[in-house]
Amino acid sequence: MSCSDNSRVDHLLDQLERNLKHDGMPIKEQETVLGELKILGRNSASAGSIFSRRGIDVLAKYGFRRETKSTSHEALRCLANAFLLSETTRQLFVDLEYSTDAAERLKSNDCNDEFLISRIIFLLTYNTSADLDDMVNKHGLADSVNRHLTRHAERLTQDQTASSSMKDMALTETLKLLFNITYYRPHTSTNFTPSIEPIISLLVHHPTLSPPLQPPINYLLNALLNLDLSSAVMPDQDTNSTPPSHTENVIDKLISIFDQSIRSYPERELDQLAAPLCTLIRRWYELTTSHQKSNIRSALLPQTQDRDKPLGQGDSLSARLLRLSIAPGLPTLRENISCLLFELSDKDADKLIKNIGYGFASGFLMSHNIPVLASKDGTLQGDDDGVEINPVTGQRIAEETMDQPDSPEMSQEEKEREAERLFVLFERLRATGVVDVQNPVQKAVEEGRFEELPD
């Protein structure tokens, strides 16, 4: 930081401090001074005394103790920049006891207030002693968040074209704040239950973006993760209430976003981006009605037409999910998808094998020590028409021979190598209990039909 920048910051703070005592500086001049401090404070190298106890105190007084909104907003922008760049400034703000002022200010319906205060409190959730419980219980923080999200939902449902960059940014900051509070203070999550329906409404009515997991969609999804969704998904049996009006459409939207995300992002990015969405679909499936469960299974599990080829081939959502379920570079999403497929199979290992084939199910089942029952003839029966399917690939047996291309006859050496390979694979499969028949290669050896080639 240059000496000139340091001196300039000190001079500007002196002016603001004198005005707090004598109140003689015109509003426009206050805005100009705060605007210059905001510019200097964007870079930690030129911020100087802005990051000091004195600097935070002066800015907080202009942000929370002055009635003029324009100067207040400039001061709050300075504080938000300082909190982002310097962790110590957040604790200084808390030590100076301005946290409750921030919580009270969030009661304002002004979208600039919502944007700035939500960001400030969001940053206070990181590595400070801010009393979030007190802000929620005594200063209406949860009520303010619930009210803001309801207002945003009403705005979008009334006119989907009525977009405002400031309102959209305010929505994003409020969603981030909700997630952090419920993450760091899980016991407060019930205070935010009224936010579930407006979040769902926003999710359903917001146009799908490309790529899909960008603000505010990603923050809407994250905000739901820590909330009790049971009241939103299922009606209250005691009160005979019905679920919120948009719940019938939300699972379709979630699956649509999931599908487009898998198609839009490079695989290496999906582990972080898509895992929360997969978790949300799993939670929704656990809570929803049997009718919606059936719809989810139809959307995510392989269907009859997928069994024309070995499962996992093709461009369908189910095929893509199967490939991702064994992707080595996606440890979080891979496990999440495997758990989802297991839950869609009623947490039954044999149903899982029937649904996706042992080739995709084996890793998950073995890593979780889940036993399976044996198939006596080495095949499985399809659900609809009893058509036999290959338990390993999930393909219909009748389609396997049709898929085999014409090829020149194998040499004796090639036949031997292929026999050895099949012998090993079959023994591994039989050892798992998926099939319980004699290895055909072993049987051929015992019957004298297997001739070894001379060295």
Three-state SS string over 183-209 comes to HHCHHHHHHHHHHHHHHHHHHHHCCCC
Average pLDDT of the residues in 88-97: 98
Confidence tier at 43 by pLDDT (50, 70, 90): confident
pLDDT in tens, 204-238: 999 989 999 999 999 999 999 999 998 777 655 44
Residue 390: predicted pLDDT: 84
Residues 304/250, Cβ–Cβ less than 8 Å: no
Residue 104: predicted pLDDT: 98
Residue 394: predicted pLDDT: 83
Q: Closest Cα partner for 59 from 86, 29, 93?
A: 93
Whether residue 119 is predicted with pLDDT greater than 90 in this model: the reply is yes
Looking at per-residue confidence, does 60 or 44 come out higher? 60
Looking at per-residue confidence, does 13 or 47 come out higher? 13
Whether residue 379 is predicted with pLDDT greater than 70 in this model: the reply is no
pLDDT in tens, 241-271: 445 556 668 999 999 999 999 999 999 999 9
Place of tokens 């940053």: 123
Confidence tier at 376 by pLDDT (50, 70, 90): very low
Confidence tier at 49 by pLDDT (50, 70, 90): very high
Can you tell me the distance from the alpha carbon of 404 to that of 127, in angstroms, rounded to the nearest whole number? 62
Residue 236: predicted pLDDT: 55
Q: Which residues sit opposite 396 in a β-bridge?
A: 389
Looking at per-residue confidence, does 376 or 300 come out higher? 300
Mean pLDDT of the residues in the chain: 87
State which H helix or E strand residue 435 sits in: none
Percentage with pLDDT > 90 across the chain: 67
Confidence tier at 179 by pLDDT (50, 70, 90): very high
Whether residue 239 is predicted with pLDDT greater than 50 in this model: the reply is no
Residue 450: predicted pLDDT: 55
pLDDT in tens, 133-159: 999 999 999 999 999 999 999 998 887
Whether residue 53 is predicted with pLDDT greater than 80 in this model: the reply is yes
Whether residue 96 is predicted with pLDDT greater than 60 in this model: the reply is yes
Q: How many CA atoms lie within 13 A of 82 on its CB side?
A: 29
- Measured N-to-C along each axis, helices 358-367 and 331-344 cross at an angle, to the nearest 10 degrees, of 110
Residue 407: predicted pLDDT: 56
Residue 110: predicted pLDDT: 95
Average pLDDT of the residues in 108-120: 97
Whether residue 378 is predicted with pLDDT greater than 90 in this model: the reply is no
Percentage with pLDDT > 70 across the chain: 83
**What is the per-residue burial (b if ≥16 Cβ within 10 Å, else e) of 32-67?**
ebbebbbebbbeeebbbbbbbeebbbbbbbbbbebe
78 alpha carbon, distance to own chain's centre: 31
Residue 271: predicted pLDDT: 95
Residue 246: predicted pLDDT: 63
Residue 163: predicted pLDDT: 63
Residue 418: predicted pLDDT: 74
Residue 338: predicted pLDDT: 98
Confidence tier at 440 by pLDDT (50, 70, 90): low
Can you tell me the distance from the alpha carbon of 317 to that of 145, in angstroms, rounded to the nearest whole number? 36
pLDDT in tens, 270-302: 999 999 999 999 999 999 999 999 999 999 999
Looking at per-residue confidence, does 441 or 353 come out higher? 353
Can you tell me the distance from the alpha carbon of 444 to that of 441, in angstroms, rounded to the nearest whole number? 5
Average pLDDT of the residues in 358-383: 76
Can you tell me the distance from the alpha carbon of 60 to that of 292, in angstroms, rounded to the nearest whole number? 50
Residue 1: predicted pLDDT: 46
Confidence tier at 432 by pLDDT (50, 70, 90): low
